[in-house]
Amino acid sequence: MPADLLATPDLLRSVFRRHAAGVAVVTARGEAGPVGFTATSLASVSAEPPLLSFGIGTDASSWPAIATADHVGVHILGEHQRELAVTFARSGADRFGPPTAWRDGPEGVPVLDGVLAWLVGRVVARVPAGDHRIVLAEVVHGDPTGTGRPLLYHQGRFQRLGD
């Protein structure tokens, strides 16, 4: 088998750059205040009960808060929120300072304004997965009424949905 087909971190990254994914921001309340990060690993897991999942690296600055949070917020970003996605993806950024608009939502979770939809979930499991954890959360609140089109992540860039 050719070496370029053997499983490596670079192979995995190269393949998933070709996979277009919706962009979400996950938030939680930490001891020092709100935390959050941009995620493209969001998935619907179950309708009964309503469960979602996302992955987070254990070296991420948000991990200590997510590791102990009872509840998390999940926000589906619109194509008009590219800068918000960049802010929450950037290491060391003041993610909740201006111009980020947010409020305290259900269960004390930070809820971002202007998103296409948001959910608050009660964390039910954190599953080890290599250098990440897969977080499972049961949805307890949400609002699907935002308007616009979704922001996508493809080929290492935030992009708009084409027709």
List, in order of start, the domains of the chain with CATH numbers: 23-153 (2.30.110.10)
pLDDT of residue 1: 59
Give residues with Cβ within 8 angstroms of 29, minimum separation 6. 35, 65, 69, 71, 108, 109, 110
Least confident of 7-21, 49-63, 66-80, 111-125: 7-21
Q: 2: pLDDT confidence band, cut at 50, 70 and 90?
A: low
Q: Where are the beta strands (DSSP E) in 77-131?
A: 102-104, 110-112, 117-129
**Strands 51-57, 71-76: parallel, antiparallel or unpaired by DSSP?**
unpaired
Six token digits for residue 14: 């190269």
CB 73 within 8 A of CB 26: yes
Distance CA 63, CA 131 (A): 12
Q: Mean pLDDT, to the nearest integer, of 19-27?
A: 95
Euclidean distance between CA atoms 158 and 79, whole angstroms? 8
CA 69 to CA 66: how far, in whole Å? 5
Q: Residue 4: its pLDDT value, please?
A: 65
Q: What is the predicted pLDDT for the residue at 163?
A: 61
Strand partners, 22: 152
